[in-house]
């Protein structure tokens, strides 16, 4: 199913922290837009003053330059007992697609998030399942397992964490991982990426966690630390855009999720932030 | 005149276990030195996910990519993929290895192996610095061309410095060497180089 990139919803602000009346100037798919608090909620408009559609979901304000459909569901957002965490925005000089792909990757944990999300010698990525669920048009990776020294702020020691990854939107991903205090439940961590240009993005992580012990500030700090470690990678990949053509990079079995993500992007015709011809 | 070897660093600036990024005329590269002192020069991007190898770390005789820990030996062959510890990496997973040499206190690279060795300088490494001007402007001010180290007299210095220019497009790296001198003379030479850099950059702005 192909869909125009302008018809997707994109995150542009935290709903609980709207810019003042004057607004905040930002970009969406290279177009200048302004986000501000209006009398009856958030307003987003183009440079010419055209009002854009707005919706609020998962703690964020979303907008669309074209004709929006439904935003993807995250049913866990409504489950009682979860703490919903607006982590804040991190600007990254990389393709929005590179930011999502890195989020889907576990093999980097021991090297980039050393002694937190991974540690040597526990580097092996076991077999997991990946498929494109045609009925919902989403990429899903399941039965992903990884040994983690400190899986979350709430973790007290090393555990083997199980993950599920989901890509319901070209620039958004949702992961489900074993909740350290409630091993039978999944913590939910999402990455909502606002494409400013093809090589620059604002990343808005959001979480729905089972954690009654940590303060909001501690949970935010933990996730920001993780994401800033990722940023040091994302800003140093060559090329800046995500290569969709096979041959430019050498994936292995551990990269099945990213292979499926790239294939899914191609199939949808979503190439904003992609490099199509090997340079 | 053909320039075959390109000077990219002074010897002391790349100790064993170090890796530095290099901008060559034909692309971005990494030059690294193994624990036993062997120099290697590869394309900067790890073929797995395009991460800069100069951000990686040297372990023994291999360089390890910081992203996923893929390890390459001094010839560029991938020897280890930590996500699959039991897998012998296929021979096809390798990076190109460019000629690299050390002579006259400088580290040199080339796209293909030149017929002759890089030149000696007869001097000791002083420091490298980057001038925000194209090599043509530095050549005009200094009288030496990229790739061929030569003596350059700077104001207030008793003896000329040996300068090796590295053309990096909009910018030029200057690798400076000095005939044996005490620390006061080295500091004076370093300051004279800074003044030279400012003068070249100012000339560039005026022009």
Measure A5 CA to nearest chain B CA, in Å. 25
Least confident piece of the model among B2-6, B24-28, B39-43:
B2-6
Interface residue of B44, B50, B71 to substitute, partner A, most A CBs within 10 Å: B50
- For the record, the structure tokens of A274 come out as 């992609």
pLDDT tens-place string over residues A197-217:
999 999 999 999 999 999 999
CB atoms near residue B12 (< 10 Å): 11
Residue in chain B closest to A230 (alpha carbons) equals B67
Q: Are strands A90-92 and A129-133 parallel, antiparallel or unpaired?
A: unpaired
Residue in chain A closest to B93 (alpha carbons) equals A250
CB atoms near residue A90 (< 10 Å): 18
Contact B84 A239 (CB under 8 A): no
What pLDDT, on the 0 to 100 scale, is given for residue A115?
92
Measure B67 CA to nearest chain A CA, in Å. 6
Say which CATH class A82-240 falls into. alpha beta
For residues A15 and A60, the answer to whether their CB atoms sit within 8 Å is yes
Averaged pLDDT, A213-241: 96
Reported as a pLDDT band with limits 50, 70 and 90, residue B207 is low
Q: Does A107 touch chain B (CB under 8 A)?
A: yes
- Give CA A252 to chain center in angstroms: 22
**Locus of tokens 């292979």:** A259
Q: Report chain B's mean pLDDT, rounded to a whole number.
A: 95
- For the record, the structure tokens of A134 come out as 């045609």
Give the span between the Cα atoms of B149 and B151, in whole angstroms.
Answer: 7
Least confident piece of the model among A1-5, A50-54, A235-239, A267-271:
A1-5
Reported as a pLDDT band with limits 50, 70 and 90, residue A19 is confident
What does residue B198 show for φ and ψ, rounded to 5 degrees?
A: -60, -40
- Please report, for chain B, the start and end positions of each structural domain, with discontinuous segments joined by +: 6-109, 124-206
List of residues 6+ apart from A37 with CB closer than 8 A: A18, A19, A20, A21, A43
pLDDT at A248 over 90: no
Give the span between the Cα atoms of B82 and A115, in whole angstroms.
Answer: 16
Interface residue of A246, A250, A278 to substitute, partner B, most B CBs within 10 Å: A250
| Closest in B44, B47, B52 to A249, CB measured | B47
- Please report, for chain A, the start and end positions of each structural domain, with discontinuous segments joined by +: 5-63, 82-240
Give the span between the Cα atoms of A9 and A86, in whole angstroms.
Answer: 18
Instruction: Give the B window 31-90 contacts with A, CB below 8 Å.
Output: 44-45, 47-52, 55, 65-69, 81-85, 87
Give the span between the Cα atoms of A80 and A98, in whole angstroms.
Answer: 33
CB atoms near residue A38 (< 10 Å): 14
Contact B52 A251 (CB under 8 A): no
For residues B152 and B112, the answer to whether their CB atoms sit within 8 Å is no
Q: Are strands A200-209 and A83-86 parallel, antiparallel or unpaired?
A: antiparallel
- Enter the ipTM: 0.94
Averaged pLDDT, B11-27: 96
Same fold for the pair A5-63 and A82-240: no
pLDDT tens-place string over residues A123-155:
999 999 999 999 999 999 999 999 998 877 887
Give the span between the Cα atoms of A197 and A219, in whole angstroms.
Answer: 29
* Fold topology of B6-109: Rieske Iron-sulfur Protein (2.102.10)
Residue in chain A closest to B83 (alpha carbons) equals A124
B10 forms beta bridges with: B106
Omega before residue A239 within 30° of 0, cis: yes
pLDDT at A279 over 60: no
- Give CA B95 to chain center in angstroms: 19
What does residue A232 show for φ and ψ, rounded to 5 degrees?
A: -65, -25
Q: Is the pTM of this model over 0.90?
A: yes
Averaged pLDDT, A151-179: 91
Averaged pLDDT, A28-37: 97
Handedness of CA A109, A110, A114, A118 (dihedral sign): positive
Averaged pLDDT, B8-36: 97
Give the span between the Cα atoms of B193 and B156, in whole angstroms.
Answer: 11
Averaged pLDDT, B32-42: 98
Q: How many CB pairs under 8 A join A and B?
A: 69
Q: Kindly report the CATH number that applies to the domain delimited by A5-63.
A: 2.20.25.680
Q: Does A120 touch chain B (CB under 8 A)?
A: yes
Rg, C-alpha atoms of chain B: 19
Interface residue of A125, A249, A252, A258 to substitute, partner B, most B CBs within 10 Å: A252
| Closest in A232, A238, A252 to B81, CB measured | A252
- For the record, the structure tokens of A94 come out as 């990389």
For residues B146 and B3, the answer to whether their CB atoms sit within 8 Å is yes
Give the span between the Cα atoms of B183 and B172, in whole angstroms.
Answer: 26
Reported as a pLDDT band with limits 50, 70 and 90, residue B1 is very low
Name the more confident of A156 and A221. A221
DSSP B38-76: -EEEEESB-TTT-BBGGGSEEETTEEE-TTT--EEETTS
Contact A238 B49 (CB under 8 A): no
% of residues, chain A, pLDDT over 70: 99
Quickly list H helices, chain B.
135-142, 183-206
DSSP A129-170: EEEEETTTTEEEEEEEEEEES--STT--S-EEEEEEEEEEET
């Amino acid at each position: 199913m192909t869909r125009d990139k302008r018809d997707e919803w994109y995150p542009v602000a935290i709903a609980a922290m709207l810019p003042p009346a004057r607004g905040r100037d930002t970009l969406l798919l290279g177009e200048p837009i302004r986000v501000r608090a209006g009398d009856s909620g958030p307003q987003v408009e183009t440079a010419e003053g055209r009002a854009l559609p707005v919706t609020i979901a998962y703690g964020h304000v979303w907008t669309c330059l074209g004709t929006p459909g439904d935003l993807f569901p995250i049913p866990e957002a409504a489950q009682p007992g979860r703490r919903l965490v607006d982590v804040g925005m991190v600007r990254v000089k990389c393709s929005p697609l590179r930011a999502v792909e890195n989020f889907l990757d576990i093999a980097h944990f021991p090297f980039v998030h050393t002694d937190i999300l991974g540690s040597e010698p526990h580097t092996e990525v076991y077999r997991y399942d990946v498929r494109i669920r045609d009925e919902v048009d989403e990429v899903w990776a399941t039965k992903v397992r990884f040994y983690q020294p400190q899986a979350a702020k709430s973790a007290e020691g090393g555990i083997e964490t199980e993950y599920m990854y989901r890509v319901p939107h070209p620039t958004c991903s949702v992961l489900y991982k074993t909740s350290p205090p409630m091993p039978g439940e999944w913590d939910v961590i999402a990455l909502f990426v606002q494409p400013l240009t093809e090589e620059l993005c604002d990343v808005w992580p959001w979480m729905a966690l089972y954690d009654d012990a940590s303060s909001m500030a501690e949970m935010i700090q933990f996730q920001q630390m993780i994401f800033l470690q990722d940023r040091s990678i994302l800003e140093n990949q060559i090329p800046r855009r995500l290569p969709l053509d096979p041959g430019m990079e050498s994936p292995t079995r551990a990269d099945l999720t990213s292979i499926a993500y790239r294939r899914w992007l191609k199939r949808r015709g979503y190439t904003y932030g992609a490099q199509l011809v090997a340079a | 005149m053909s320039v075959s070897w390109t000077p990219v660093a002074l010897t002391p600036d790349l100790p064993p276990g170090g890796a530095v990024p290099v901008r060559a005329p034909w692309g971005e590269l990494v030059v690294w030195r193994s624990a036993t002192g062997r120099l290697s020069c590869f394309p900067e991007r790890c073929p797995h996910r395009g991460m800069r190898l100069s951000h990686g770390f040297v372990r023994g005789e291999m360089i390890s990519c910081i992203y996923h820990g893929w390890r390459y030996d001094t010839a560029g062959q991938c020897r280890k993929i930590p996500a699959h510890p039991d897998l012998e990496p296929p021979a096809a997973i390798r990076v190109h290895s460019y000629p690299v040499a050390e002579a006259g206190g400088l580290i040199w690279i080339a796209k293909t192996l030149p017929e002759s060795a890089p030149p000696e300088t007869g001097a000791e490494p002083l420091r490298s610095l980057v001038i925000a001007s194209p090599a043509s402007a530095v050549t005009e001010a200094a009288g030496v061309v990229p790739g061929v180290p030569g003596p350059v007299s700077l104001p207030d210095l008793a003896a000329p410095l040996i300068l090796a220019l590295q053309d990096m497009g909009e910018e030029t790296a200057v690798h400076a060497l000095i005939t044996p001198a005490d620390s006061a003379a080295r500091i004076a030479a370093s300051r004279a180089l800074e003044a030279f850099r400012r003068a070249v950059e100012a000339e560039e702005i005026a022009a």
